Structure 1
Amino acid sequence: MRLVQIAQRAGDLQRAARWYADLLEAAPVATFDPPGLVFFDLDGVRLLLEGNAPAALLYLAVDDIAATVERLRAAGTEITAEPHVIFTHADDTLGPAGTAEWQAFVEDSEGNLVGLVEHRAPA
């Protein structure tokens, strides 16, 4: 079994589509309006923005958490938790063994919380 799609609440579909396009640095792969659906491709998993969807807490992998947070901050995104280490992976059960897992949290244009995750090798 594999994850196929995640739906995220978008009160203002166009605003949300712009925000996620900026965050993901990618354009939507499909838009159907009506009925009000925007899709992004997250490495084979569909992210669906929809007005009637419930809010979801997404965790997205980023290559450089500090640079991503600063780029989003400069664009006016509210940063709700600055980058910080959550834990170090002793084995590869939840992430690459030996890496520190950094997380930060931002608020999207619709008020949904979005987690950013970087696995950082030891210096």
Structure 2
Amino acid sequence: MINKILLIDDDDIFRLTASKILKKVYPQLEIFSAKNGEEALNQLIEKPIDLDLILLDINMPIMNGWEFLDAYASKEFKNEIPIYVLSSSIDPNDKEKADNNPKVIGFIEKPLSFAKAKQLNTAS
């Protein structure tokens, strides 16, 4: 069961709509958010939360998704948190890079739908 997630995306409107979809599918869900990888990493270090899942965008300012994954992998956290790359990228290299990253459990193409949100529970 997914109870707490971290949604990392620089688009305010996407974070809002994704949060609404996720809350409809998982009413008990507590959603934390960050506008870029650096903000997310700082949250994980400064205020560790027992998260069930991270949804990570690729293209963001300051620290993009790939840079976040590298920085996340270099730190030691109490628990391994499953990470989905959630992106509008249609570049096959991005999908391949996500598939080859041991921290990433899946690649979801935007937009997030109810059907895609329901699939998150089966993989966490």
User: Given the two structures, how large is their TM-score scaled by the length of structure 1?
Assistant: 0.29
The structure in which a higher percent of residues are helix is 2
TM-score (normalizing by structure 2): 0.29
